[in-house]
């Protein structure tokens, strides 16, 4: 058997790599990204998959970090921390991610929700960069469909300076959501902490109020997309069944926040759920349907690309992520 005799150059190169790795506490042979001149940012956050003939593009809008204490209304903090630890997540804070959808249906682009725009946390606001990296143009969006009116879903429609981001898009909103948030009596009677949310809805959607198309649950709102009432998170919170050929996708919107907490523990209620018991009942019903019918699902607040399947697990459920594919 021939013996391997390393050259002096090989030895010196190896020694250099070991020196760098040791200094930076890295395994041998691995140099840090910044040492290679690479950016510390991730690649653009978009991911495409097919539902029959419909192309779905998941678009990441960054994240916001929130303390864990007080986040789950009806569970002990110790139990919430345990659930985080079981998911190998930090037990002091939760990173809440944001993922919207762009649906290519024929030659039309439909958005489901629009992200934070320039009104979110400093670690959010990546949506437009990722949208454009995916080869999409705001001027070509034909329809914007809103699931509900929380700011992280609607603020990307209109910037702080009043600029309309999607100038040619029809705007579709849940009728029940519109009725609640555009009711002056409800706004005047709301707790002080909620008045900003009412004002935010009016800022974003008020300028197009006369052109907004209100949709009802149980109806096909664009080809292949049917609205399903999912109240509790907000009064008019809506999810969507996307169907094309044999492909089906259940867009769960904010039925759950992070799956490690609310898919595994569907009876827990997040601080953002306006009616906790109703939200929990809706969550359990929809997760059970997804598991029974083996539907692919996607979430707004799951780790990117925020899609997978639901499996029953004890008294709760598990999110089984899809296998990442470099092609669709």
Domain spans in the chain, listed from the N-terminal domain onward: 1-40, 45-321
pLDDT (0 to 100) of residue 43: 74
Strands in 93-105's sheet, in edge-to-edge order, are: 46-51, 54-67, 93-105, 108-112, 141-145, 170-174, 213-215
Which residues are paired to 136 by β-bridges?
none
| Phi-psi region at 117: left, alpha or beta (left = phi > 0; alpha = psi -120 to 50) | left
H or E, element range at 96: strand 93-105
pLDDT of residue 305: 96
182-215 pLDDT per residue, tens:
999 999 999 999 999 999 999 999 999 999 999 9
From the CB of residue 74, how many other CB atoms can be counted at a distance below 10 Å? 13
No. of H helices and E strands in the chain? 9, 14
pLDDT digits (tens, 9 = 90+) for 54-113: 999 999 999 999 999 999 999 999 999 999 999 999 999 999 999 999 999 999 999 999
User: What number is the average pLDDT over the span 284-308?
Assistant: 97
> What CA dihedral angle connects 118, 200, 71 and 295, to 10 degrees?
-80
- pLDDT score, position 162: 96
pLDDT over 60 at 25, yes or no: no
When the candidates are 3.30.450.20, 2.40.50.100, 3.30.2310.20, 3.60.15.10, the CATH number that belongs to 45-321 is: 3.60.15.10
In this prediction, residue 129 carries a pLDDT of 95
Average pLDDT over residues 174-183: 98
Q: What mean pLDDT value characterizes the chain?
A: 90
Which residues are registered as beta bridge partners of 310?
Answer: 319
- Nearest 5°: phi and psi at 203? -60, -45
Which residues have CB under 8 Å from 52's CB, separation 6+? Answer: 224, 243, 244, 245, 246, 247
CA 93, 98, 296 angle in degrees (round to 5)? 110
Partners of 227 in the beta sheet? Answer: 240
pLDDT (0 to 100) of residue 173: 98
Q: How confident is the model at residue 2 (pLDDT cuts 50, 70, 90)?
A: very low
> Is-contact 141 62, C-beta < 8 A?
no
Give, in order, the Cα–Cα distances in Å from 132 to each of 46, 159, 163. 10, 17, 18
The rounded distance, in Å, linking the Cα atoms of 328 and 171 is 29
pLDDT above 90 coverage of the chain, percent = 85
Dihedral through CA 249, CA 253, CA 257, CA 260, nearest 10? 0
pLDDT, residue 32, reads 46
Nearest alpha-carbon partner for 105 in 147, 53, 31: 53
Q: What is the DSSP letter of 209?
A: G
Distance between alpha carbon 287 and the CA centroid of its chain, in Å?
17
Per-residue pLDDT, 40: 61
> Which of 6-20, 191-205, 228-242 comes out lowest in average pLDDT?
6-20
Mean pLDDT of 119-142: 96
- pTM (predicted TM-score): 0.88
């Amino acid at each position: 058997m021939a013996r391997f005799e390393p050259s002096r150059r090989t030895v010196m190169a190896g020694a250099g790599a070991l020196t760098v790795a040791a200094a930076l506490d890295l395994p041998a042979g691995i140099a840090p990204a910044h040492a290679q001149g690479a950016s510390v940012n991730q690649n653009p956050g978009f991911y495409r998959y097919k539902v029959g003939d419909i192309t779905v593009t998941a678009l990441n809008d960054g994240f916001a970090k929130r303390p864990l204490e007080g986040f789950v209304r009806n569970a002990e903090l110790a139990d919430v921390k345990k659930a985080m630890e079981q998911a190998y997540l930090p037990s002091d804070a939760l990173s809440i991610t944001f993922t919207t959808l762009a649906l290519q249906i024929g030659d039309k682009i439909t958005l489901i929700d629009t992200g934070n725009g320039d009104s979110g946390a400093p670690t959010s606001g990546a949506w437009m960069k990722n949208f454009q990296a995916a080869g999409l143009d705001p001027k070509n969006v034909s329809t914007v469909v809103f699931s509900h009116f929380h700011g992280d879903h609607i603020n990307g429609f209109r910037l702080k300076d009043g600029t309309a981001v999607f100038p040619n898009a029809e705007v579709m909103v849940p009728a029940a959501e519109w009725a609640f948030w555009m009711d002056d009596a409800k706004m005047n009677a709301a707790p002080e902490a909620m008045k900003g949310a009412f004002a935010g809805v009016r800022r974003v959607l008020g300028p197009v109020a006369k052109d907004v198309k209100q949709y009802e649950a149980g109806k096909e709102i664009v080809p292949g997309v049917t609205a399903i009432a999912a109240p509790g998170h907000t009064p008019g919170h809506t999810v969507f069944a996307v169907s094309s050929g044999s492909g089906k996708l259940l867009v769960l919107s904010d039925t759950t926040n992070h799956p490690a907490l609310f898919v595994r523990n569907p009876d827990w209620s997040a601080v953002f759920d306006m009616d906790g018991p109703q939200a929990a009942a809706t969550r359990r019903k929809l997760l059970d349907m997804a598991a029974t019918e083996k539907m692919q699902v996607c979430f707004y607040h799951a780790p990117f690309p925020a899609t997978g399947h639901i499996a029953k697990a004890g008294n709760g459920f598990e999110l089984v992520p899809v296998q990442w594919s470099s092609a669709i």
